[in-house]
Structure 1
């Protein structure tokens, strides 16, 4: 289990700039937020601290929710937000989840802007390259695609790691939905291509974060 932020840390998060996520606080508070994955320190001077996508989600939530502080296999690594990679049991698709995903996606775009050397938001950042499955799944869910549930026969996308460096496989039983997933990832800054499994003839998408 991951503990929620302390009251002092929550005040720092709540006081973040609403547009940039820029933080103000003591060095101890900021370092603690970085350790929790809720903030990052910008590599260029003046080396200010900013909220990560997980930090943005905490700020927008009225209060910590149990589902937000539980470490799961599909966590973005902070234990705060779990991207739906497909295959989960009875995934919630209600308004609360829609807001959560939207907040996480907006936070990720801000992270791109702050960490890509040219401030670009149209291609993945370093965090996404180290969290390929979660990043691709977040892009898909944020665009409204439906993740497959635990029933292997059901429709919906599934994002999985591959032996290839910086590449994930996206599978979706519906050919039209698979092409739509590919288009979404391409728009989100990923290089995509459709492939066929030799043994089964099943089509899938191979996606890698675009660098330029």
Structure 2
């Protein structure tokens, strides 16, 4: 991409599904994004268009100049990693949002994994480890920690393709491990040398 996207192209990029990266636009707009390496056309029907990693970076970057109005941040789904200062409540609307995001992620797996597998994490999840693991946990009904509440907390680690999951309740921690394994992750339980607290180290599984 030798020049920034036009305002119209940026609107298409900004309107991409926050989880799957699926795009909606005119054939000319989508073709232009493909030409510049910001999108790709899936080879299998219905031949939808999706953001490439470069397109995701454009979407997530802060614009250098004023852009047309976009939906407020509160309307963009974000998985709860635990410990948020003002976590959203467990409302029916939140439950629907989480369910929709999880179904979208399964569809992204089907569309982007070479064998169409939905039981194994895809490239997007490997690039967004903390969000992906948190979504799997929240979609399965686990409770994320609040500022002063017990619950799971998902955090990045220095290890490549691995996140740490902490839960004060040992039984709940084992439940998190079972959920992640069912969602296509490998999860092992470890002990912090200094605090002796138990935690999970989880990474996306590459093969069945």
* Residue in structure 1 matched with residue 93 of structure 2 by the alignment: 96
- Mapping of residues 32-181 of structure 1, within 5 Å: 41-42=40-41, 44=43, 48-50=47-49, 67-68=74-75, 80-92=76-88, 93-151=90-148, 154-181=149-176
Contact 2:153–2:167 under 8 Å retained in 1? yes
Runs of 4+ aligned structure 1 residues displaced above 6 Å come to none
Among 185, 188, 192, the alignment partner of 1:197 is: 192
Structure 2 counterpart SS, 1:99 = helix
Deviations 1:22-50 (Å, cap 9, x if unpaired)?
A: 96732315767xx9x9xx63454789324
The alignment covers a number of residue pairs equal to 173
Contact 1:22–1:48 under 8 Å retained in 2? no
* Residue in structure 2 matched with residue 55 of structure 1 by the alignment: none
Structure 2 counterpart SS, 1:178 = helix
RMSD: 3.3
2: CA distance, partners of 1:194 / 1:159: 14
* Residue in structure 2 matched with residue 182 of structure 1 by the alignment: 177
Deviations 1:128-174 (Å, cap 9, x if unpaired)?
A: 000000000000000000000112xx210000000000000000000
Give the alignment's TM-score, normalised by structure 2: 0.72
Contact 1:42–1:115 under 8 Å retained in 2? no
2: CA distance, partners of 1:132 / 1:197: 21
- Who wins on radius of gyration, i.e. which is larger? 2
Gaps of 5+ in 1: 14-20, 53-63, 69-79
Deviations 1:69-123 (Å, cap 9, x if unpaired)?
A: xxxxxxxxxxx32110001124221011111111110000000000000000001
* Residue in structure 2 matched with residue 27 of structure 1 by the alignment: 28
Contact 1:24–1:49 under 8 Å retained in 2? no
Gaps of 5+ in 2: 1-7, 17-21, 52-70
